[in-house]
Amino acid sequence: MLIDPEFWRARRVLVTGHTGFKGAWLSLWLQSLGAHVVGLAPGAPTRPSLFALARVGEHMTQHDADVRDAQAVLEAVRDARPEVVFHMAAQPMVRRSLREPALTYEVNVMGTVNVLEALRALDGAVRAILVVTSDKCYENDGTPRAGFREGEPLGGGDPYSSSKACAELVAAAYRRSFFEGDGQPGLATARAGNVIGGGDWGQDRLLADAARAVETDTLLRLRDPTAVRPWQHVLNALSGYLLLAQSLGERPDLARAWNFGPPAGEAGTVAWVVERLAALWEGALRVESEQLGAPAEAAYLALDSSAAERELGWRAPWDLARSLELLVTWHRDHMAGEDMRRVSLAQLDAFAGAVGNRAGSPTTDA
């Protein structure tokens, strides 16, 4: 299955968390497909940000709303009258969730409730709702094992992971209680691994920390060099979200949970990724390895995405090595003062070519 430009052209799409790393890439992609994109989030969570550099906000309607504020969410959703919804707004950091667990649950769990409540109150127009959770939503004791499948138990040993498992349960309950039957939107959840790519300046993310270290000429400090993460390029994951969302309205069988992770062999250790990055940065990345306290995140995580591959025809065209190259290229262009909207659209164009989606490839005019 390919991303269908006809489906997305002039489609009214609500993206919560549109100012964040994934939200900005998704909004840019939707803009390039000709969708009417409406965003719901406070300003960008980092400075600099992909959102600002690629001037994403200039090409969409925005609601400066907090998902914890049910009334503000309701008003934004009424104004947007979306046909498709991507709910991405979240407190997405494990370490911050250990410092601010209550806030993490408020944003990630009650925020999800507030968005679904507002959509429930909207008559008719919504076709598809995608709630973005995380690969961390599974019960995970850290033992090396084959990838998690969608039917396996939910869990989470830290507030962030557990809040994403809670968001899964909220979505499942809303699906069964309110969003089943004729005329109801399809509601699915998406669980992706750590995504990487140009323009991420989030705290406590290895690839973002590495790019920041190079751009500010500081040391990259490694938390746990042996940890294994299912890294993948952000566009790999987002292409799965787009494929799923464009079919959800027509196919009730797709209204369930989905994994979008890299193939098993792609789950590299932190040490391996940093070695590759150091080579790509040609000496500009300086690394210091130390254990900064006990690792709070599960040490091993892999996803089984065979359902998405089989039923949605999803595939991740950019492997880890290519993804790291593109990340470094993006940040080099940023450091060289390039127009980052143009650079980002060119990477989207290259992605469209890699999946054979040329017909839907974005133009640099978007």
Ligand X SMILES: NC(=O)c1ccc[n+]([C@@H]2O[C@H](COP(=O)([O-])OP(=O)(O)OC[C@H]3O[C@@H](n4cnc5c(N)ncnc54)[C@H](O)[C@@H]3O)[C@@H](O)[C@H]2O)c1
Interacting residues toward ligand X by CB under 6 A: 17-23, 41-42, 45, 66-68, 88-92, 107, 111, 132, 134, 192, 194-195, 202
Nearer to ligand X, 2 or 299 (CB): 299
Closer by beta carbon to ligand X, 67 or else 126: 67
Please give the residue whose beta carbon sits closest to ligand X in the complex: 20
Would you say 20 or 362 has its CB closer to ligand X?
A: 20
Closer by beta carbon to ligand X, 302 or else 361: 302
CB nearer to ligand X: give 196 or 312. Answer: 196
Distance set, CA 103 to CA 186, 200, 320, 328 (Å): 29, 22, 33, 33
The minimum distance between CB 205 and ligand X, in angstroms, equals 7
- Please state whether the peptide bond connecting residue 48 to the residue before it is cis, i.e. omega within 30 degrees of 0: yes
Query: Any idea which residue has 């209204």 for tokens?
Result: 255
**Closest distance to ligand X from the beta carbon of 182 (Å):** 30
Q: What is the 3-state secondary structure (H, E, C) of 149-199?
A: CCCCCECCCCHHHHHHHHHHHHHHHHHHHHCCCCCCCEEEEEEECCEECCC
User: Minimum distance between the CB of residue 195 and ligand X, rounded to whole angstroms?
Assistant: 4
Nearer to ligand X, 38 or 361 (CB): 38
Whole-number minimum distance, CB 202 to ligand X, in Å? 5
Q: How far is Cα 61 from Cα 128, in angstroms, rounded to an integer?
A: 20
Task: Tell me whether residue 45 or residue 262 sits nearer to ligand X (CB atom).
Answer: 45
Q: How far is the CB of 90 from ligand X (least distance, A)?
A: 3
**DSSP output for 23-85:** HHHHHHHHHHTT-EEEEESSS-SSSS-HHHHTTGGGGSEEE---TT-HHHHHHHHHHH--SEE
Helix (H) or strand (E) holding 113: helix 111-120
For residues 264 and 147, is the Cβ–Cβ distance under 8 A? Answer: yes
In angstroms, give the least distance from the CB of 6 to ligand X: 27
**What is the CB neighbour count within 10 angstroms for residue 336?**
8
On whether the CB atoms of residues 361 and 245 are closer than 8 A, the answer is: no
CB 288 within 8 A of CB 222: yes
Residue 181 CB, nearest approach to ligand X (Å): 28
Helix residue spans in 283-339 (DSSP H): 306-307, 320-335
How far is it, in rounded angstroms, from Cα 161 to Cα 163?
5
